Structure 1
Amino acid sequence: MKLQKMATQSIVTLLTMACSYVAFAQDVTLNIVDQHGQPLKNAVVELVSEGGNKSSQQLPVLIMDQVDKQFSPTLLIAQQGQQVNFPNSDNIRHHVYSFSQAKPFQLKLYSGQPESPITFENQGVVVLGCNIHDSMLGYIYVAKSSHVYQSDELGNVPLNGLTLPVKLSLWHSLQKNTLEEKQPLMLAVNAPHSLQVTLQTTEPKPRNTFGSKFKGGNDK
């Protein structure tokens, strides 16, 4: 009996040591760079190995404004089921649309506030355009995980209390990969904290819009 108890204690000790090695919590700051080693802002890092996010009823309505013929902000991160309001703060009308698989929609020519927010039910990348002003381009990244982060001007993404190893995904609007693709990553204990995104070498091609029939005197 004594030998059996000692053996059991030894197994528990070994399992504890193994778990301590496999799961290790620490604060990590990732640094996102392009293929030339330059800091990359507005990259999105999402943890894909954790549970579901908050109920959509608990999520605030986000704002994607339109200022000086630009979407503001250029990149907005939302959760599945979250709503986004699209106010038009310009003194001209805009026609906001998306052909993206995650959320195709359009808000026809309007000024001020649209009738109601748009709900983004599906995860993925939603590319926004304006049928009146082709230079307007914005992105809504709809995350499945509630742990999703955006890199700052220096390309940094602080991750506090992260339990390693962990699965991540990495995305950027100018990545060379297809726009909807998220680069899968595994961040392990003592792994390098610098991640690289290969960007397009040329500017994105002009987008297909609804054509010129709506433009009229609005493109001013």
Structure 2
Amino acid sequence: MKVSAIAVLAGLLISAMVSTANAYELSVTVTLEGNTEPVANAVVSVDSARPATPVSAEIYQKDRAFHPHVLVVPVGSSVDFPNRDNTQHHVYSFSPAKTFNIELYADRPAAPIVFDKPGIVELGCNIHDHMQGFVVVTDTADTGRTDTSGKVTLSLDTLPSEGSQGTVTLEIWHPRLPDNTRPVTREIERDSESAIVTLNLEPEPAAEGSLDRLQQRFREL
């Protein structure tokens, strides 16, 4: 028995209507624990069935720092690490989500690094100990970063339905978490359109000091 084109079209329209009905925007505000100070650059995500598409990105080194300090990319993305300093760098990570080692180099590495597992990847430089950066690798498209007012809006198409118990789990990460190797979780009501969450953060790190002797050796190529 053949299914008519009208029946197929009707089914698609009903599916689209259900999807639209389930879609909504969730506004999340992140503040510092103990006061109402907004927390900028917190990465907020909701686990959903909407996978993110891999991208090509870069983290460059300039003035002996990683730019950006935090990069958020989907699983499967490739990241290049161009060196725009007049000193060499040695970029590495020991993080379980991605372990790699780009030995001492200038200009641009031979190939980008592919981040094929979700998680928090901490970056370092074997020549400049103060250098620190992060790659947040996510497996959901429902991910965003708070602005200077501590707010982020996630456009959610679908939410996990099994075992949700009427709540939605938010994952929040910030580089100054006491344990910044993993996000913290917060439960909010499933039908909430807005939420306020608080984070306990470490103080801002001290400013970089002058170059030590080892760094001076590699200042000029």
Q: Shorter-chain TM-score category?
A: 0.7 to 0.9
In the superposition, the TM-score normalised over structure 2's length comes to 0.75
The aligned residue for residue 11 of structure 1 is: none
List aligned pairs for 1:167-182, cutoff 5 A. 167-176=169-178, 178-182=179-183
- 2:148 corresponds, among 137, 143, 153, to 153
Match of 1:63 in 2: 58
Q: Is there any run of 5+ residues in structure 1 with no aligned partner, and where?
A: 1-19, 205-211
Q: Give 2:163's aligned residue.
A: none
Task: State the SS of the aligned residue for 1:42.
Answer: coil
Matched to 1:135, the amino acid is: H
Q: Percent identity?
A: 32
- Alpha-carbon distance, 1:184 to partner: 2.0
* Structure 2: runs of 5+ lacking an equivalent: 1-17, 160-166, 207-211
TM-fit CA distance, 1:88 = 0.5
Tell me: CA distance 1:202–1:136, structure 2 relative to 1, closer, same or farther (3 Å). Answer: closer
RMSD (Å), alpha carbons: 2.7
Tell me the SS of whatever aligns to 2:217: coil
- Structure 1 segments (4+ residues) deviating >6 Å: none
Q: Read off the aligned partner of 1:89 and give its amino acid letter.
A: R
5 Å matches for 1:173-192? 173-176=175-178, 178-188=179-189, 189-190=191-192
Opposite residue 33 of structure 1, the aligned amino acid is T
TM-score of the aligned structures, taking structure 1 as reference length:
0.75
Asked if structure 2 preserves the Cα contact closer than 8 Å seen for 1:52 and 1:146, the reply is: yes
The answer on whether the counterparts of 1:49 and 1:167 sit within 8 Å (CA) in structure 2 is: no
- Structure 2 CA distance for aligned equivalents of residues 86 and 62 of structure 1: 9
C-alpha separation in 2, matches of 1:53 and 1:88: 28
**C-alpha separation between the residues in 2 aligned to 1:144 and 1:77?**
11
1:34 alignment partner, one of 26, 32, 43: 32
Q: Secondary structure at the match of 1:87?
A: coil
1:91 is matched with 86
* CA–CA distance in structure 1, aligned partners of residues 57 and 177 of structure 2: 25
In the TM superposition, residue 51 of structure 1 has moved relative to its aligned partner by: 4.1
Q: In the aligned structure 2, how far is the partner of 1:163 from the partner of 1:104?
A: 33
* Larger of the two Rg values belongs to structure: 1
Matched-pair contact (CA < 8 Å) for 2:75–2:117: yes
Aligned twin of 1:194: 196
- Whether 2:67 is the aligned partner of 1:72: answer yes
Equivalent residues, number: 187
**Distance (Å, rounded) in 1 between the aligned partners of 2:194 and 2:155:** 16
